Amino acid sequence: MDVNWVQLILNGFQSGAIYTLVALGLTLIFSIMYVVNFAHGEMYMLGGFAGYFIFYQFFINKLGLPLTLGYIICFIIVAIILGLFGFLLEKAIFRPFRGDLLGGLLISVGLGEILMMGAALCFGPETKGVPPAFAGKVSVLSASLSNQRLAVIFGGGLVMLGLYLFLVRTKAGLAMRAIAQDKEAAESLGINYGFTSSLGFAIGCALAGVAGLLVVPATYIDPFVGSGYLMKAFIIIIIGGMGSLTGCILGGFMVGFIESFSSFFINIQTGTIILFVLVIIFLVLRPRGLFGRAEV
């Protein structure tokens, strides 16, 4: 069998970047609020639909903007819209459940269902495609990669870099890290927990939305894609460790590579089962994941 290794590795990088973005938002929310957001996959889905409606239907078809420019503007708009949406959601629904694992879990399950079926009712259940914003192809060694897929890898990398700089260089990022370390001590030093957790939730949602927008020109979008990405994000978090950003990035690319290789050599269903077996192995041997803190 003629195996195109470079192609497989590039595919792994592409899906890994997306999974990492989704999982980063999830782990950020978890480390600040101690809430596992089951509606996170739906944020990804909403980002994809925003890409379809704002970028494709409005910018390209109505306004006639150039593809690349429209895409970049849309990128910023999606991040802002989903950020605001997440901020309001946190204030309206999640506020009583900060720090309450079970309550937050149940309420986000309910929210996810509403968003998913709401999207199916408003936008229609059929799959929608968006034309690639970056036309053309590049060939890397023996592999060929469309510019759009390259943009997914680079865009994902840029967003991750931005998140890192935000967390390390800004005051709000410092507040988030402080709360993740020790909530009571951070609050006693004057950090506004309510605002910080809303902001963290907003950033998490924006990350998932941006991931959706990045992928949509390369693949397709429908209202039911969310749960698949959510499951991958869970697997990444377990492998990488709850609340660890480094572990999240490493786990994300690991999952991306495993999926890329197993779907080529065996099939995609077996890839999912391999991931699950990996999770079980991790749970037995190293329950806190690669970089997670041991829970007290």
Partner 1 sequence: MQKFKNIQFGLYFSIIFFILPLIFRSNYSKYTLVWFCIYCMLAVSLRFIMLVGAVNFAHAGFMGIGAYVSAVLMMRLGLSFWITFILGALVSAIFAAFFGIITLRLKGAYFFLVSFALVEIIRVFFSSYFVDIFGGVNGLIGVPPPNGILWLHFDAGSLGLLYLIGVITVLVLFSVYLFEKSYWGKVFNCINESDNLAQSIGINILKYKVIVFIIGCFIAGVAGSLYGCTNGVITPDDFTYELSLFLLVCVVLGGMENILGTVLSVSLLVVIRELFRSAAYFEPIIWGLSLILILLFAPRGLFGLGTNIFWIAKSTFRSLRKKEINAEG
DSSP code, position 128: B
Q: Is the distance from CB of 207 to CB of 21 less than 8 angstroms?
A: yes
Of 30 and 56, nearer to partner 1 (C-beta) is: 30
- Distance CA(238)–CA(248), nearest Å, equals 9
Q: Got the DSSP string for 85-97?
A: HHHHHIIIIIGGG
Residue window 29-48: x/- pattern of binding to partner 1, with contact defined by CB under 8 A: -x-----x-x----------
Q: Is the distance from CB of 146 to CB of 11 less than 8 angstroms?
A: no
Burial of 251 (0-12, 13-18, 19+ CB in 10 A): buried
Of 26 and 150, nearer to partner 1 (C-beta) is: 26
Of 31 and 148, nearer to partner 1 (C-beta) is: 31
Residue window 120-159: x/- pattern of binding to partner 1, with contact defined by CB under 8 A: xx--------------------------------------
**Tokens 């959601």 appear where?**
89
Position 107 contacts partner 1 (CB under 8 A): yes
Of 2 and 126, nearer to partner 1 (C-beta) is: 126
- Distance CA(15)–CA(279), nearest Å, equals 19
Position 234 contacts partner 1 (CB under 8 A): yes
Nearest-5° Cα angle at 29, 28 to 34 = 115
Kindly tell me which residue out of 76, 106, 135, 138 binds partner 1, with binding defined by CB under 8 A: 106
- Distance CA(221)–CA(217), nearest Å, equals 9
Binding piece for partner 1, criterion CB under 8 A, among 2-10, 172-180, 234-242, 253-261? 234-242
| Region 46-105 residues binding partner 1, contact defined as CB under 8 A | 93, 96-97, 101-103, 105
Kindly tell me which residue out of 29, 238, 248, 250 binds partner 1, with binding defined by CB under 8 A: 238
Of 118 and 162, nearer to partner 1 (C-beta) is: 118
Tell me how far, at minimum, the Cβ of 34 lies from partner 1, in Å.
8
Tokens of 75: 């990128």
Inter-residue long-range contacts of 285-290, CB under 8 Å, 24+ positions, other chains counted: 288/241, 288/242, 289/237, 289/238, 289/239, 289/240, 289/241, 289/242, 289/244, 289/247, 289/251, 290/239, 290/240, 290/241, 290/244, 290/247, 290/250, 290/251
Kindly tell me which residue out of 237, 239, 249, 255 binds partner 1, with binding defined by CB under 8 A: 237
Binding site for partner 1 (CB under 8 A): 30, 36, 38, 93, 96-97, 101-103, 105-107, 109-114, 116-118, 120-121, 227, 230-231, 234-235, 237-238, 242, 269, 272-273, 276, 279-280, 283-284, 287, 295
